[in-house]
Amino acid sequence: MHSFCKKRQTRIATKSFFLIIGIAAFSMIWTGSVSADHLEGDQLATGKPEHFLSGIEVYVKDQTKDGLVLTTPVADVIKKFGTPTTKSFEPGCIYTDKEGETRSYEWVRKGLRMGVLTDYYKGRESGVYSVGVAGNAPRGGIGVTGQGLKLGSTFQEQKAIYGSHFFISSRNKGKVKVVLLEWADGTQMSITYGPNERITNIGLNAKIE
């Protein structure tokens, strides 16, 4: 938990990622939150942790003294994908000194969207700690994880990459709809499947305490 939010445990980042950036046309890709309850025991993924989505690393290597995470700078994301289609800044927590905020950036392509989250405090911006993508297929570097899972992949392809330890949080008429994965390092990933049983949404979140 960032120091500027300790007066209140509820952060704006605990909302569903795509509710924050207001993409109403999407299914929610993360039904929990960045600081959601963690999976345990046999539910934890046992393979190599996934730290990349669309080439953006969310793994927290370090933090500033104010608790801002040091991951991929949003400037690097903008350099790679161009000027965001939309940006929005929201108060980072409910009882604060009014200097902290959560920032969301969204890139829109034909049939494809991507959003990222950062925090901003006292003139400094954190690295990206949450990435979400939605669409039917990847394009232009958007929509593929570091280990090769992509928009349009199947449940069997997910299991082939990440193994059989995960939590199915939602089904639709017996079919898998939303899968949550978490690794021992706290990184969390959400995968949503469409009616054709192919991935339409992927969300990747760093461990945030």
The per-residue pLDDT for 115 is: 96
Taking only the tens place, the pLDDT of each residue in 149-172 is 999 999 999 999 999 999 988 887
The per-residue pLDDT for 201 is: 95
* Largest pairwise CA distance in the chain: 49
Measured over the CA atoms of residue 184, residue 121, residue 107 and residue 56, the dihedral's sign is: negative
- Nearest CA-CA partner of 19 in 159, 124, 101, 132: 132
Burial bucket for residue 97 (CB in 10 Å: 0-12, 13-18, 19+): exposed
The per-residue pLDDT for 123 is: 86
pLDDT tens digits, the chain, 209 residues: what are they?
A: 455 454 333 343 333 344 333 333 333 333 333 334 678 888 899 999 999 999 999 998 888 887 888 899 999 999 999 999 999 988 765 435 566 888 999 999 999 999 999 998 888 999 999 999 999 999 999 999 999 999 999 999 999 999 999 998 888 777 888 999 999 999 999 999 999 999 999 999 998 66
Residue 18 DSSP class: H
Tell me if residue 78 falls in helix, strand or coil. helix
Nearest 5°: the CA angle 50, 181, 70 is 45
**Alpha helices (H) along 26-183:** 74-81, 155-162
The per-residue pLDDT for 37 is: 62
Residues 6+ apart with CB under 8 A from 131: 53, 54, 56, 58, 114, 115, 116, 203, 204
The per-residue pLDDT for 92 is: 63
